Amino acid sequence: MVTEEDVRGLALALPATTEKTMYGTPAFYVRGKWFARIREEGDVLVLPVSAEEEKAGLIAAEPATFFTTPHYDGHAIVLVRFGAVDAGEMRELLTEAWRLRAPRRLAADLDDRA
């Protein structure tokens, strides 16, 4: 099971990432744009995705892992249960969310490192 500390370590390992609070909970930013937030429950992560269709597909394919609430209806944002993913999958999810919000040049630099 992934913990809050695991999420923090994975997020902060991404280039130009900082941690600040958002709605009183830990959130992660790349160059001032948020890309992940730990919800009040402490075991759920809020992540942007590329489109509402992607969000719907994730929820339909893996409802034990991905879900939403009415608050996020109409937004390309998905919720992820910590207990349903391992560290490798969480790293991928955070990296994809980071890429959505990172400046193009910074994202390209990450690709060059891979």
pLDDT tens, position by position, 30-73: 999 999 999 999 999 999 999 999 999 999 999 999 999 999 99
Does 112 fall in a domain?
A: no
What CATH number is attached to the domain comprising 88?
Answer: 3.90.1150.30
Domains: count for the chain: 1
Does 101 fall in a domain?
A: yes
Residue 114: is its pLDDT beyond 60?
A: no
Q: What is the pTM of this model?
A: 0.93
Q: Which residues of 1-30 are buried (b: 16+ CB within 10 A; e: fewer)?
A: ebeeebbeebbeebeebeeeeeeeebbbbb
Does 32 fall in a domain?
A: yes
